[in-house]
Amino acid sequence: MRKSVESQNDMFCRFGISNERRTIFADVDETRMRTCFAPTIRHLIRVGDGVSRFLGCEKCGVGPGDVHPIPFSRMGLRASCHLRRNLTLVSRKHEGGGVMMRYHIILPFALFGAFAPLCAAEKPNVVVVLTDDLGFSDLGCYGAEIETPVLDRLAANGLRFTQFYNTAKCHSSRVSLLTGRWCRQAGDEDMDRAVTLPEVLGPAGYFNAMTGKWHLSKEPTDFGFDRYFGHLSGATHYFRGNDTFRLNGEPWEVPDSGFYTTIAKVDYALDFLAEAREEEKPWFLYIAFNAPHAPIQPLKEDYEKYKDHYKVGWDVIHERRIARQIELGIFDEDVETAPRLDHIPAWEDLAPELREWESKRMAGYAGMIDRVDQELGRLVADLEAAGELDNTLIMFFSDNGACPYDRRNIKWEDEPYNPDTRWTDSTGWAWARNTPYRFYKQNQFEGGVATPAIFHWPDGIKTEPGALDFTPTHLVDLFPTILEMAGAEAPTEFPGRELTPLAGVSLMPVLSGGSLEERPPIHFLFNQDRGLRDGDWKIVSFQAGPWELYNLENDPAEARNVVAEHPERVEKMAAEWHRMTRDVLMAPEREQRPVATEDRPKIHSQWSDYDPEPGRHTGNR
Higher-pLDDT residue of 21, 189? 189
Task: Kindly give the interhelix angle for 352-385 and 149-156, rounded to the nearest 10 degrees.
Answer: 60
The predicted model gives 4-32 an average pLDDT of 30
- Whether residue 508 has pLDDT greater than 80: yes
Rounded Cα gap, residues 242 and 488, in angstroms:
37
Residue 93 CB burial class (10 angstroms; 0-12, 13-18, ≥19) = exposed
Instruction: Report whether 93 contacts 102 (CB < 8 A).
Output: yes
Distance CA 367, CA 388 (A): 29
Residue 395 pairs in a beta bridge with 128, 455
Handedness of CA 242, 244, 246, 251 (dihedral sign): positive
From 242, 364, 373, 230, select the one nearest 297 (Cα to Cα). 364
Strand partners, 473: 164
> What is residue 85's predicted lDDT score, i.e. its pLDDT?
27
Q: Is the peptide bond before 419 cis (omega within 30 degrees of 0)?
A: no
Q: pLDDT > 70: what percent of the chain? A: 79
Q: How far is CA 552 from CA 196, 200, 270, in A?
A: 32, 35, 41
Domains of the chain, by residue range, sit at 3-121, 125-468+484-499
Tell whether the model's pLDDT for residue 333 goes beyond 60.
yes
Residue 554 has pLDDT above 70, yes or no: yes
pLDDT at 621: 59
Query: Of 515, 389, 505, whose CA–CA distance to 463 is shortest?
Result: 515
In terms of DSSP H, where are the helices of 410-549? 427-433, 446-449, 478-486, 508-511
The answer on pLDDT for 273 being more than 50 is yes
Q: Is the pLDDT assigned to residue 578 strictly greater than 60?
A: yes
Q: CATH fold of 125-468+484-499, please?
A: Alkaline Phosphatase, subunit A (3.40.720)
Instruction: Give tens-digit pLDDT for 208-265.
Output: 999 999 999 999 999 999 999 999 999 999 999 999 999 999 999 999 999 999 999 9
Q: What is the pLDDT of residue 617?
A: 64
Return the pLDDT at 10.
34
Confidence of residue 517 (pLDDT cuts 50, 70, 90): confident
For 254-277, what is the mean pLDDT? 98
71/511: higher pLDDT: 511
Phi, psi of 176 (to 5 degrees): -65, -40
Separation CA 263–CA 24 (nearest Å): 43
pLDDT of residue 518: 87
- Mean pLDDT for the chain overall: 84
Torsion of the alpha carbons at 570, 576, 582 and 586, rounded to the nearest 10: -110
Span 460-490, pLDDT tens digits: 999 999 999 999 999 999 999 999 999 999 9
pLDDT at 446: 98
pLDDT(18) > 70: no
* Helix/strand/coil for 378: helix
- The per-residue pLDDT for 233 is 97
Does 295 sit behind a cis peptide bond, omega within 30 degrees of 0 on the bond before it?
Answer: yes
Query: Does the pLDDT at position 114 exceed 80?
Result: no
pLDDT at 612: 67
Compare 144 and 61 and report the one with higher pLDDT. Answer: 144
Residue 606 pLDDT > 90: yes
Q: What is the mean pLDDT of residues 548-563?
A: 97
Q: Are 300 and 417 in contact (CB under 8 A)?
A: yes
Strands 473-474 vs 159-165: parallel, antiparallel or unpaired: parallel
User: Is the pLDDT reported for residue 420 higher than 70?
Assistant: yes
Residue type, 30: E
Task: Give me the pLDDT at residue 35, please.
Answer: 29
Res 526: pLDDT: 97
